[in-house]
Amino acid sequence: MQSIANTMHKKPKLRLVALLTAPILWLVVAYLGALATLLVTAFFTIDSFTGNVVQTFNLGNFQDMFTDAAYKNVVLRTLGIAISVTVICTILAIPMAFYMAKIAKPKSQKILVALILTPLWASYLVKIYAWRTMLEPGNGVLDWLLGPIGFNSPGFGGPAIIIGLSYLWLPYMILPIYAGLERLPNNLLDASGDLGAHNWYTFRRVVLPLIFPSLVAGSMFTFSLSLGDYITATIIGGKLQMLGNVVYQNFSINLPFAATIATIPVTIMAIYLWMVRRTGALASL
Amino acid sequence: MHKKRLFSQIAVASVAALILAGCSSSNEAATNSGVPDVPMMEKLGDGEGQVNLVAWAGYVENGSTDKNVDWVTGFEKETGCKVNVKIGSTSDDMVALMKTGEYDVVSASGDASLRLIYGGDVAPVNTDLIPNYADIFSNLKLQQWNSVDGVSYGVPHGRGANLLAYNTDVVKPAPTSWASVFDANSPYKGKITAYDSPIYIADAALYLMNTQPDLGIKYPYALDQKQFDAAIEVLKAQKPLIGEYWGDYLKHVASLKSGGTVLGTTWQVNINLAKSEGVKVEGIKPAEGSTGWSDTWMISSKAKNPNCAYMWMNHIASPAANAGVAEWFGEAPSNAKSCDLTADKNHCATFHAADDAYWENVYYWNTPTETCLDGRTDVKCLPYAEWVKAWSSLRNS
Amino acid sequence: MTISRNARLLLASLLGVGLAFIYIPLTVVVINSFNSSRTFSWPPQEFTTKWWTMALDNTGVREALKWSILAGLLATAIALVLGSSLAFAVSRYNFFGKEVISLLVVLPISLPGVVTGIALNNAFTKQLGMSTGLLTVVIGHATFCIVVVYNNAVARLRRMGTSLQEASMDLGANGFTTFRLITLPNMASALLAGGLLAFGLSFDEIVVTTFTAGPGIETLPIWIYNNLFRPNQTPIVNVVAATLVFISIVPIYLSQRLSSDSSSGGRFS
């Protein structure tokens, strides 16, 4: 033991290799390998007789995807939903996180964090079915509660998907922003206030730029989880489908086509990650 | 490449010939049919101690859901075969699971069974080794979706028709035909539902069979390009009428109850459940018939536990187990003797289990293949993968 | 800090609106667990406790809970090992490709679950000829859990600096002793916080699990999903969810305790 420890201490390279081997093997070989294998499948096709994958290179799937307007619709719709969910979560999360981090007393701060964490343990499906009960047009909870004051449920469809997904992912937005704000020294805000800045000005010019990485980190959850979701759309989406539904539907009968569709969210996320990599957001997840 | 095409042409031709010949041809043709030659089990041996199943939710209950609903524990004790089950949520799931070769037995619906047979994923079933097979309703045996060339590929399990549900308070007069869900001027626009699966294209084809005989559709699962396009057009025109498509029963029944859905595809079990919830709803099989499903227990060609698999297939086809599943799941049992054993004595009557005439115009789900299943050889039909693609496209158009 | 009274009031009411948004649906879940309607129809006409007694009798849900906990623990354990060794490597060494690591490690959680799911399914069953089972679920879950452990660990290591370790080494302790007596205790709360979050992510995961679970492996989310297709006693899923919310107080309380032990805790705690 002692000798191993000494050797390890004297050879930092060896220690580095020991530390890196397992995680890199896991992420690169297992994960990226699986991903690459899937994406390569997009260029294959299936035997129309047996349904088995035939490994001959062709671009037919991509041609189908780009020529059929339906796929353009679903990409735009999914992007629209994912962006809306992110915006809504951000708007809801910032004041909540700000109150929790900067105004609440330490004791209530803990309780508030617990209150935000709790819904993460209620099952995804149960929560979405609860939203079905909430949104049911005519006799849902929303109409029952708010009908008397003239507010009606939007029913099932795009708005319902946006509400449902915002609900599911809101805690994932609040928590990083809260953590970001907590790290922010109070005297910074005081300084800005002392210099005569209004609350709003301080927030916009001092707080917002500093918590921007946390915002981006939260958006990675809200945006990417929305981008790939297919269950919420099935349950409260009315007639609408999202990209995930198309992938899921084609997966077992036509893997190459499912893989072709899957290249879209992968590309979108790759661009997104590339854009945010410099903000320090990746470390704030 | 050239060789491959030649082979597939031969295969297409021979399958077509076979289907034309129906069940009459001899066993020798089996190897020419395009169906992979998978050996059949000859003799039953001792159990392997376990069996892995792929099944629909509710088909394999061991008392863990409800302690009174159990047709597995007894089997396990009796045979020593421990039952491991994986729930498949769609037919597509089930096919994918069976392709892995990890499972011994599957409860395949008709839109999966042929795929499995032609993919060489399931083996022919030696029905002599399954004593309970004798009691299965004869109009379920050796059908297009569970046999090839007179060779059985499974044990029929249960069946149901896709019914037309309508809210009796709202929909007046009562609908008599599927035309009511395709009517562009329907007063129920926005409150119509349809089953959310590519197989629903067959419902449109069935509608066209009756309204546009010129298209020459003989069998709703055998559509050439022209017929297929016509069916898709029907569905595109129907889309504005639809409020929701449904896949899981809860969403469907909840929607019937809330009044969000007043007309559309349903299953008998959903009607019963909605009625028990106090919904004023009826389900009918329109005069022109309907699509439906008939499930089949099939054995994997790569089964690691073939003996336990055969024991399971015999057990699940037995009157008691079959009655148990039929009542729990809400479908017509396949064993004629089951009807005496159901807790609800009207179960078989409600589900038309023994009513042969009822099933005559039910077109059970089948897997569309490139070779037209109706026997036409001059055209190619659209295989199921194309149905799925078209459905994705339709749902997002 | 000087925040005007009006701004405080505004923020407090916005927090209230947000909490209402979070808790009204959860209340609906709890109420529906007593709703006699089998389709959760609103408002409830009659109340019943039968779903609760049925849930108690249901051994399937306990079995599913067991699988979920087992898969969650194993995935968390793997994520802890891989995530923290990666964190050590990144924060204590310089090497080629270091920048790429942070990108690589977030990839599994930032790509849609359905893509990760079918990619792993395809790799396991078609390329490697593996059987899906508990192992494949654990591999799938661990892959997207690594990042939360990693980020917690990296943040803590950055704050800790290297002076303590150096002091320990100077005083003659070898690498292992230093790790055991200095590094690990200082890391513990960050690792636990990361581990809890990883467990939480795994516990409610449904998409990747759908594609990686083998015969007989029914985790709780999958069990709930399957129950939506079982036409008899669906409302017990509300019972299960309500129970989970109450049980979740335990891990949340734990993480709160941990964060109060350390100056500014790991992330999310």
pLDDT at B28: 31
What digits encode the pLDDT tens for the residues A176-198? 899 888 888 877 777 766 776 67
Average pLDDT along chain B: 87
Judging contacts by C-beta atoms under 8 Å, the chain A residues touching residue B12 are 49
Backbone angles phi, psi at C43, to 5 degrees: -75, 155
Nearest CA in chain C to A12: C93
Mean pLDDT of B299-324: 95
How far A129 CA lies from chain B's nearest CA (Å)?
9
Mean pLDDT of C224-236: 77
The answer to whether the Cβ–Cβ distance between C82 and A179 falls below 8 Å is no
Mean pLDDT of A168-183: 89
Judging contacts by C-beta atoms under 8 Å, the chain B residues touching residue C216 are 52, 84-86
What digits encode the pLDDT tens for the residues B65-99? 778 889 999 999 999 999 998 888 778 778 878 88
Within an 8 Å CB–CB cutoff, is residue A98 touching chain C? yes
User: Is C28 inside a domain boundary?
Assistant: no
Within an 8 Å CB–CB cutoff, is residue C239 touching chain A? no
Residue written as tokens 């649906």?
A: C25
pLDDT at A10: 66
ipTM of the complex: 0.84
How far C29 CA lies from chain B's nearest CA (Å)?
15
pLDDT at C264: 35
CATH code, C187: 1.10.3720.10
For the ranges A32-36, A45-49, B134-138, B341-345, the lowest mean pLDDT is seen at A45-49
Q: Where in chain B is the domain with CATH 3.40.190.10?
A: 35-159+294-355, 163-266+369-395
d(CA C86, CA C146): 9
Chain C interface with B: residues with Cβ < 8 Å? 37-41, 54, 57-60, 63, 121, 125, 131-132, 213-218, 222, 225-234
Q: How is residue A61 written in tokens? A: 């799937």
Q: How is residue A231 written in tokens? A: 């269950």
Residue C267 above 50 pLDDT? Answer: no
Within an 8 Å CB–CB cutoff, is residue C147 touching chain A? yes
pLDDT at B11: 44
The answer to whether the Cβ–Cβ distance between A49 and B198 falls below 8 Å is no
What digits encode the pLDDT tens for the residues A211-259? 888 888 888 889 988 998 999 999 999 899 999 999 988 887 888 999 9
pLDDT at B24: 34
d(CA B195, CA B83): 31
How far C126 CA lies from chain B's nearest CA (Å)?
7
Interface test with C, best of B73, B90, B250, B251 (most C CBs within 10 A): B250
pLDDT at A113: 87
Judging contacts by C-beta atoms under 8 Å, the chain A residues touching residue C268 are 117, 175-176, 179
- Contacts of residue B329, defined as CB under 8 A and 6 or more positions apart, other chains included, come to B56, B58, B59, B158, B269, C231
Judging contacts by C-beta atoms under 8 Å, the chain A residues touching residue C68 are none
Residue B382 — very low, low, confident or very high, per pLDDT cuts 50/70/90?
Answer: very high
Chains that touch B (3 or more CB pairs under 8 A): A, C
What digits encode the pLDDT tens for the residues B157-205? 989 999 999 999 999 899 999 999 999 999 999 999 999 999 999 999 9
pLDDT at A149: 85
Mean pLDDT of B340-351: 91
What's the pTM value of the predicted model, to 2 decimals?
0.85
Determine the straight-line distance between the first and last CA of chain A, rounded to whole angstroms: 37
Residue B27 above 80 pLDDT? Answer: no
User: Is C76 inside a domain boundary?
Assistant: yes
User: Is C162 inside a domain boundary?
Assistant: yes
pLDDT at B390: 94
Cβ atoms A132, A236 nearer than 8 A = yes
User: Is C169 inside a domain boundary?
Assistant: yes
Three-class SS of A187-251: HHHHHHHHCCCCHHHHHHHHHHHHHHHHHHHHHHHHHHHHHCCCHHHHHHCCCCCCHHHHHHHHH
Residue C231 above 70 pLDDT? Answer: no
pLDDT at C168: 73
Residue C173 — very low, low, confident or very high, per pLDDT cuts 50/70/90?
Answer: confident
Mean pLDDT of A173-177: 90
For the ranges A91-95, C199-203, C228-232, the lowest mean pLDDT is seen at C228-232
* Facing residue for B89 by CB, picked from C59, C60, C229: C229
Cβ atoms A192, A242 nearer than 8 A = no
pLDDT at C177: 78
* Facing residue for B118 by CB, picked from A50, A70, A77: A50
Task: Give the count of domains, chain C.
Answer: 1
pLDDT at C258: 64
How many beta-carbon pairs under 8 angstroms link A with B?
101
Residue A7 — very low, low, confident or very high, per pLDDT cuts 50/70/90?
Answer: low
Domain B35-159+294-355 has CATH 3.40.1010.10: no
d(CA B10, CA B17): 10
| Domain residue limits at C100 | 62-261
Q: Among the ranges B213-222, C90-99, C156-165, which has the highest mean pLDDT value?
A: B213-222
3-state secondary structure at position B208: helix
Specify the higher pLDDT residue, A11 or B266.
Answer: B266
User: Is C172 inside a domain boundary?
Assistant: yes
Q: How is residue C112 written in tokens? A: 């849609």
Residue A175 above 90 pLDDT? Answer: no
Q: Percentage of chain B surpassing pLDDT 70?
A: 91
Residue A1 above 60 pLDDT? Answer: no
- The CATH number assigned to the domain with range B163-266+369-395 reads 3.40.190.10
Give the up-direction half-sphere exposure of residue C87: CA atoms within 13 A in the CB hemisphere. Answer: 27
What digits encode the pLDDT tens for the residues B142-159? 988 898 888 999 999 989
3-state secondary structure at position B194: strand
User: Is C6 inside a domain boundary?
Assistant: no
Residue B6 above 60 pLDDT? Answer: no
Give the up-direction half-sphere exposure of residue C223: CA atoms within 13 A in the CB hemisphere. Answer: 29
Residue C244 — very low, low, confident or very high, per pLDDT cuts 50/70/90?
Answer: confident
Could you give the domains of chain A? 1-35 (no CATH), 67-284 (1.10.3720.10)
pLDDT at B163: 94
The answer to whether the Cβ–Cβ distance between C39 and B253 falls below 8 Å is yes
Mean pLDDT of B359-383: 91
What digits encode the pLDDT tens for the residues B256-303? 988 889 999 999 888 988 988 889 999 999 999 999 989 999 999 999
